[in-house]
Homo-oligomer: A and B are copies of this chain.
């Protein structure tokens, strides 16, 4: 296939990190990215060039373009950590070359980025050839959320208690976690902010669903903790809701922060609990998990994820597929809608 010299892409407008902590809501695209035309990149020996069919918008993408993620931005590069597409050029290494012509899910996070573009470069090791029956929407969201879900559910399993708590319970990520947890006999306790999410999550497998905006939230949460004795809080929000949940959890509780959806102040309500109740506060970052765990653990999770999407145990809920040319205008609005994922179609 003849490749064009240039391509359309959404390009980062800033370098490095932001100095202000503005939360992870994308109020608009303009401050952070702009539509532009740049040269089609060339893959290195162990890389492939993917013609992007769909690109995901994950919370980590939003944090990254805002300069709040753990890796610095580079002005003028395309944004986007994940997508699905066809390999149209490949490096000379057999690992890369063997992918030529295949439809792959790919992640760009560790070496370079660029799925919000007509073409993207990915390491061969970060590409997953897809079974024919798998939907593009599932393929485009098959790495970041699914691996995070499986890795964090691993924390729950290692902690040895059946019950655990998730905040932002109606996110795509939490829905994946809840589905796996139900299957393995665990009891997820989901915190949400809308009553209409309660039944949906109960049907999916949540043992309890609590609305954090209700007046009696702290009391209800304490009662559920007493009943279920959850040890792990998988927390995407931080701020006062997570503080309250951690405060009412019992001995040995671990607050695992993986997101910052609430930019307001995060308080340790009673530091004495760290001393006398052996509570702990820590973080989870998929990039770190990928770096530290070795290729086998990563590969096992990737295979597990593809199986789950292929046989229907997991499914990606779609809010919108936005054409690349409309992305500047429409993405922020689509992201504000609850319960589903937003994709960009170059």
Interchain CA distance A277-B287 in the complex, whole Å:
11
Nearest B residue to A258, CB-CB: B275
In the complex, chain B residues whose CB is within 8 Å of the CB of A265: 267
**Which segment, of A115-123, A278-286, A309-317, faces chain B?**
A278-286
Give A262-311 interface residues, CB cut-off 8 Å to B. 265-268, 270-285, 288
Q: What is the interface residue range for chain A against chain B? A: 20 to 34
Interchain CA distance A276-B288 in the complex, whole Å:
8
Indicate if A68 sits at the interface (CB-CB under 8 A). yes
Indicate if A70 sits at the interface (CB-CB under 8 A). yes
Indicate if A69 sits at the interface (CB-CB under 8 A). yes
A67 to chain B, nearest CB (A): 11
Contact B275 A257 (CB under 8 A): yes
Contact B281 A288 (CB under 8 A): no
In the complex, chain B residues whose CB is within 8 Å of the CB of A258: 275
Indicate if A53 sits at the interface (CB-CB under 8 A). no
Partner of A283 from the list B238, B267, B275, B283 (CB cut-off 8 Å) is B275
Nearest B residue to A285, CB-CB: B275
Indicate if A103 sits at the interface (CB-CB under 8 A). no
In the complex, chain B residues whose CB is within 8 Å of the CB of A277: 70, 283
A139 to chain B, nearest CB (A): 26
Nearest B residue to A237, CB-CB: B271
In the complex, chain B residues whose CB is within 8 Å of the CB of A285: 275-276, 278
